[in-house]
Amino acid sequence: MVEVSISMIRGVEGMPAGAGEGLSRSMHESPTASTLPALQSLHFDAAGNLWVEPYSLPGTDLPPFQVYSPEGAWLGTIAMPPGLSLEPPSGLQLGIGLEIGDDYILGVWRDELDVEYVRMYALEK
Angle at 85 (CA atoms; ends 83, 86), nearest 5 degrees: 150
Averaged pLDDT for residues 27-46: 80
The pTM (predicted TM-score) of the whole model is 0.63
* Mean of the per-residue pLDDT values of the chain: 76
Q: What was the pLDDT predicted at 22? A: 59
Domain boundaries, the chain: 1-32, 39-122
Residue range 71-109, pLDDT digits in tens: 999 999 998 888 787 666 555 555 556 688 888 888 888
Residue 65 three-state SS: strand
For residue 123, the 8-state DSSP code is -
Q: How far is CA 38 from the centre of its chain?
A: 14
Q: How far apart are CA 105 and CA 49, in angstroms?
A: 13
Burial class (CB in 10 A: 0-12, 13-18, 19+), 51: buried
